[in-house]
Amino acid sequence: MKWDGHTHSEFCPHGSGEDTELFIRSAIKQGMTDYSITEHAPLPPDFLARCAGAQKAIDTAGISINDVEPYLNKMNKLKQKYRSQLNIHIGFEVDYLSDYENWTRDFLNEYGLYSDHSILSLHFLPGSGGYRAIDYSAEDYQQGIVSFYGSFQFAQEAYFGMMRHLVKSDLGIYKPTRIGHMTLCRKFKNYFTKEDTGFSAKTEQLIDYFLNEVVIGEYALDYNTSGMFKDWCREPYPPDKLTSLAVKKQIPLVFGSDAHFSKDVGRGYERFERWSAPDTQNS
């Protein structure tokens, strides 16, 4: 099995706009057997009104509610068209928003039946002026999150505190069973040259709680390689130290390129393969 479990489509407002068919053809060329299309689910309008910071980050975070059905229809057509060459799975990358669990549960109840499996990710945290996107730009992260919490470490602790809520949240029977890029708070870590961007004792404890909840809830983790190619990050989500912990706890990892461009499908797969070779699991 060779599976890219996290990719986007032409419906993504911050994507390349290329036809999803190009992504699929690339996956087939690379010998993938399975391919998940996990488009950003819509965000509650009331939530968007309470966001601050870079307007573009807010406006392009998810697809419009009017695009949900066209998205599902188009992806289902592609799934049928390519069914002899690739197992295409259709779903969403759903945002965890602690104040909007009911809204999210309603969305999942409405569309869960029409999707195969989805990812639950954290892209927003309370910050300066309201909710802030955490993955838009280094400057926006610095202004909205790091300065709000006081340091990179405090921000990281706030992120993992919220990740625990994410795992434990009741989003109903269609709650996604995989958790997206579990260390997205590290996307801009190399920008903070004067700060400690490692893992404080408190962060390590929060991560341990988080991973234990992942085990209890029988979730899988997105082994997301996109961070490896970001200038300020240069590590996968999660980095080796945490991947090793997850492997020890026998948490299933699913490779995800998080491709928003067709050229990025399957990117970094060899890094993921290291973790499936039995003799590297304890290193």
- Residues contributing to the site for Fe ion (CB under 5 A): 121
62 within 8 A of 40, measured Cβ to Cβ: yes
20 or 118: CB nearest Fe ion? 118
- Tally of CB atoms within 10 A around 67: 17
Q: Using the minimum distance from each CB to Fe ion, give the nearer residue, 115 or 121.
A: 121
Rounded least distance, CB 80 to Fe ion, Å: 27
Nearest residue to 166 (alpha-carbon basis) of 238, 118, 101: 101
Query: What's the min distance (Å) between Cβ of 243 and Fe ion?
Result: 18
Q: How far is CA 69 from the centre of its chain?
A: 22
Using Cβ positions, the residue closest to Fe ion within the complex turns out to be 121
The distance of closest approach from Cβ of residue 31 to Fe ion in the complex, given in angstroms and rounded to an integer, is: 25
Q: Which is closer to Fe ion, CB of 74 or CB of 178?
A: 178
Q: Which residues of 198-228 are buried (b: 16+ CB within 10 A; e: fewer)?
A: ebeeebeebbebbbebbeeeebbbbbbbbbe
Q: Which is nearer to Fe ion, 121 or 137 (CB)?
A: 121
Q: How far is the CB of 87 from Fe ion (least distance, A)?
A: 22
Please state the separation of Cα 30 from the chain's center in Å: 22
Cis amide leading into 238 (omega within 30): yes
DSSP-derived pairing of the beta strands 3-4 and 130-133: unpaired
Nearer to Fe ion, 119 or 278 (CB): 119
CB of 193 to Fe ion, least distance (A): 25
Closest CA to 255 of 143, 199, 180: 180
Nearer to Fe ion, 25 or 132 (CB): 132
Q: Which is nearer to Fe ion, 136 or 281 (CB)?
A: 136
Q: How far is the CB of 60 from Fe ion (least distance, A)?
A: 12
Q: Minimum distance between the CB of residue 93 and Fe ion, rounded to whole angstroms? A: 5
Report in angstroms the alpha-carbon separations of 111 from 18, 108, 189.
24, 5, 36
Task: Give residue 158's Cα distance to chain centre.
Answer: 17
Query: Could you tell me the CA-to-CA distances from 47 to 6, 62, 151, 268 in Å, in that order?
Result: 24, 12, 25, 34
- Where in 31-183 does DSSP place strands (E)? 34-40, 87-95, 119-121, 124-127, 130-133, 178-179
